[in-house]
Amino acid sequence: MNLVRALPIVLSLVSAPCAVNAQENAVPGPPTQPKQLNLEQVLANLEQRNAQRAAALEQFEGKRTYRMQYRGFPSDRDAEMVVKVIFRAPNTKQFTVLSQTGSKFVIDHIFKKLLEGEQEALKGENRHETALTRQNYDFELAGYEITPDGGQYVLSLLPKTKNKFLYRGKIWVDAKDFAVVRIEGEPGKNPSMWIKKTGIAHTYVKVDGFWLPAENHTESFIRLGGKATLSIEYRDYKILKTAPIDVVRKAAPGGNTLLDGASDGSAVLAGHIAQHGKQ
């Protein structure tokens, strides 16, 4: 059966003593915002900090809940699968299925294919070819936003190649940690001729100093009128092992892949159903 494959300034406020004394009884003004960096500075920090985090994180575990809903030709489908994952550096992920319900077709040919695709993305050259670096993407600085959690740089990105694991759209980068906290976009390469459009929304959460996937939501629309929705919820993270600080300091620029979880699974389902009909 042919399946289309599924798919990271400190501001110093220095005042002369006389200026401090003159302002001691003054009404405080609005907080001063740190100086914003230019695109090259943001990217340099992003690549370096991603590499350091990747070098530091040697082992973690967590749970995921995969949910798929398809509505349209030739029939509706729903499925859910809960998976435990254990990551061991540099490129090993062990998946254990804890429960599964719903469409056997979706479970066997979509969810499990996503896990296989994620393993593939970790291998050898795939790690370098899908990393969030200037080697793989063209970037533009699209803005700077103030959020309750702090400042975030907004970057537009366009893949330089048609690698199936790359994406185009926007990323939000934490201005303090220089980690990707949010993604909105679409696959850099349409996974199927049957797919009209695929949209991706992805968020990350900080766990013991590391930024890990929190939630993924993907919607795909097929040309025959169907719609497939995939969601992945990540929870119960435990950081089990980290590297010594000297290893982290020696980390070369590069770092993690942009997404975790091969997020175009809804496009896989929609395209496969449209092409092959009722399964």
pLDDT at site 7: 29
* Of 237, 191, 216, residue with least CA distance to 86: 237
Query: How does DSSP assign 73-132, residue by residue?
Result: SS--EEEEEEEEEEEETTTEEEEEEEEEEE-HHHIIIIIHHHHHHHHHHHSHHHHHHTBS
Cα 147 to Cα 97, 105, 144: the distances in Å are 37, 42, 10
Beta bridge partner(s), residue 77: 70
Q: Residue 148: CB partners within 8 Å, gap ≥ 6?
A: none
More confident site: 44 or 113: 44
* 29 belongs to a structural domain: no
More confident site: 247 or 212: 212
Percent of the chain with pLDDT over 70: 75
Q: What are phi and psi of 248, to 5 degrees?
A: -65, -40
Q: Residue 196: CB partners within 8 Å, gap ≥ 6?
A: 221, 222, 223
Instruction: Specify the residue for token string 């969030």.
Output: 132
Of the pLDDT bands very low, low, confident and very high (cuts 50, 70, 90), residue 262 is: very low
Query: How does DSSP assign 222-269, residue by residue?
Result: ETTS-EEEEEEEEEEEEEEEE--HHHHHTPPS---BS-SS-TTHHHHH
30 has a pLDDT exceeding 70: no
* Of 69, 116, 2, 76, residue with least CA distance to 220: 69
Residue 216: strand, helix, or coil: strand
Number of structural domains the chain divides into = 1
Percent of the chain with pLDDT over 90: 51
Q: Residue 233: CB partners within 8 Å, gap ≥ 6?
A: 64, 65, 67, 215
* 142 belongs to a structural domain: yes
Residues 267 and 109: their CA atoms lie apart, in Å, by 12
pLDDT averaged over the chain? Answer: 79
DSSP annotation of 57 reads E
pLDDT at site 220: 87
* 12 belongs to a structural domain: no
Q: Cβ atoms within 10 A of the Cβ of 1, count?
A: 6
* 7 belongs to a structural domain: no
Please give the span between the terminal C-alpha atoms of the chain, in angstroms, as a whole number.
Answer: 11
Edge-to-edge order in the sheet of strand 210-222: 92-102, 77-88, 57-71, 227-242, 210-222, 195-207, 180-187, 167-174, 150-159, 137-147
Of the pLDDT bands very low, low, confident and very high (cuts 50, 70, 90), residue 126 is: confident
In the structure encoding, which two tokens stand for residue 239, read together? 């950081």
Domain extent for 251: 17-22+34-276
Q: Which pLDDT tens digit goes with each residue over 144-172?
A: 999 999 999 999 999 998 877 788 999 99
* 150 belongs to a structural domain: yes
More confident site: 270 or 243: 243
pLDDT at site 20: 28
Of the pLDDT bands very low, low, confident and very high (cuts 50, 70, 90), residue 15 is: very low
Q: Which pLDDT tens digit goes with each residue over 56-91?
A: 999 999 999 999 999 988 889 999 999 999 999 888
Q: Residue 129: CB partners within 8 Å, gap ≥ 6?
A: 136, 161, 163, 165
* 86 belongs to a structural domain: yes
Residues 259 and 130: their CA atoms lie apart, in Å, by 9
Q: Is 252 exposed, middle or buried (0-12, 13-18, 19+ CB in 10 A)?
A: exposed
pLDDT at site 230: 93
Q: Which pLDDT tens digit goes with each residue over 169-181?
A: 999 999 999 999 9
